[in-house]
A and B are shown apart, each in its own frame.
Chain A
Amino acid sequence: AQKVTQAQTEISVVEKEDVTLDCVYETRDTTYYLFWYKQPPSGELVFLIRRNSFDEQNEISGRYSWNFQKSTSSFNFTITASQVVDSAVYFCALSAAYGGSQGNLIFGKGTKLSVKP
């Protein structure tokens, strides 16, 4: 079975705080991709990052960074010095080649981040 768990339903921080959004996944496939999408209040999902299962290098993009650890099946997302514009629902998703999903994305339930001024 393939599954994505985002244990944090809601997180509230004050602007400039650092915040980490957790994502734990399950798959038996050795080849898979992990994604993060952002859904701002406007509603449209926006792609943030993709990582394949063979690349465990951490990624940094401005204030955003991602930590992929196969040993713990986690793909966590950290926002440094959060801003009000970071307020959104963040989804972690898994795309695996087999296991019945035909490569389709399996989404976690999302973490709602509120950044207060």
Chain B
Amino acid sequence: NAGVTQTPKFRVLKTGQSMTLLCAQDMNHEYMYWYRQDPGMGLRLIHYSVGEGTTAKGEVPDGYNVSRLKKQNFLLGLESAAPSQTSVYFCASSYAGAFGEKLFFGSGTQLSVL
């Protein structure tokens, strides 16, 4: 019973490098989300998707792109990493919209940009 799986768990990048974080869920959830967690800031929504082929901006979308080509996968891309993107990234999913729905979270990806 995997739930929400994120890869990789840790990554170190140099400024300017690119990378993609992969999130996969096996619960047939429609909605998927990417959050970032910074010390003293709580979790902030980067992008989200309400279904296959759709994406939308969250609170802090700049510097990130996302794609939802398959219902079960939600990819987060950093085209040109910056030190300000050093953070812990969490993927989450829910059966329906975030309103009133319980979110299921992955275990997080710790990203350091040097």
Q: Are A45 and B97 also in contact (CB < 8 A) when A107-B42, A108-B42 are?
A: no
Whether A50 contacts B42 by the Cβ 8 Å rule is no
Per-position binary interface string of chain B over residues 34-52, scored 1 when its CB falls under 8 Å from any chain A CB and 0 otherwise? 0000001111110010000
- Alpha-carbon gap, A110 to B42, bound state (A): 6
Q: Are A104 and B100 also in contact (CB < 8 A) when A45-B90, A45-B105, A109-B40 are?
A: no
Binding site for B on A (CB under 8 A): 4, 9, 33, 35, 37, 42-47, 50, 52, 91, 95-97, 102-105, 107-110
Q: Are A50 and B100 also in contact (CB < 8 A) when A43-B107, A44-B106 are?
A: yes
Whether B105 contacts A9 by the Cβ 8 Å rule is no
Whether A104 contacts B90 by the Cβ 8 Å rule is no
> How many Å from the CB of A81 to the closest CB on chain B?
26
Whether B45 contacts A105 by the Cβ 8 Å rule is yes
